[in-house]
Structure 1
Amino acid sequence: MTTNLPNGTAVLILGIVSIIGCCCYGIVGVICGIIGLVLAKKDMALYKQNPSAYNNFSNLNTGRILCIIGLVLSVITLISNIVVIAMYGFDGVQEMQQQWIEQMQNQQ
């Protein structure tokens, strides 16, 4: 009799959230990606002990791949945000955002 891996679905959801989370300055994506990879590692070890006892390895593997992609995108986003803040400061970034909002409003 086969069962599902305990964290297979959770890893898949965390992988999706980590990709979407890269848009939140990269912090949410990094956190979800790391948690997903830790859970995936535990379930991979469990699966390797008895592969015939589990049937949702594909969800786990897909989630692990999504976590890796989300983690890479989030780290790139986080580093680029740090560089922009270091170059322009918080005030400069806020001023650029305000100018962008005004331009968007003027186009409508």
Structure 2
Amino acid sequence: MASPAAALLALSLLILWTSPALGGANDAEDCCLSVTQRPIPGNIVRAFHYLLIKDGCRVPAVVFTTLRGHQLCAPPDQPWVDRIIRRLQKNTAKASPALPSPASSLRVLAQNPSP
């Protein structure tokens, strides 16, 4: 029969082996292993997000999602990456109309009181 210490050691090893790595916010599959130095055509990109060292990744990157759903890793310090991000942010600002302010809503109600 196995000693309690051996059983405890086996259980501890099993827990460590099956648990995610300690100390990182992201799992390895969430991070980029490398980034492309070739510019990505901006017209195929629909979204982006950052994966940085502070997030637990070894390679800082901007992840662009293409119109077809592919994810491409790019270096965050390149001018062509900044241009794509600015274009996406500009398009997002145009696409989402500003919400009416509460004051303008009150003016409309005052002009058109319901019976």
The structure number with the bigger radius of gyration is: 2
Question: TM-score under structure 1 normalisation?
Answer: 0.31
Which structure is richer in relative contact order (CA contacts within 8 A, separation 6 or more)? 1
Q: Report which of the two has the higher share of strand.
A: 2
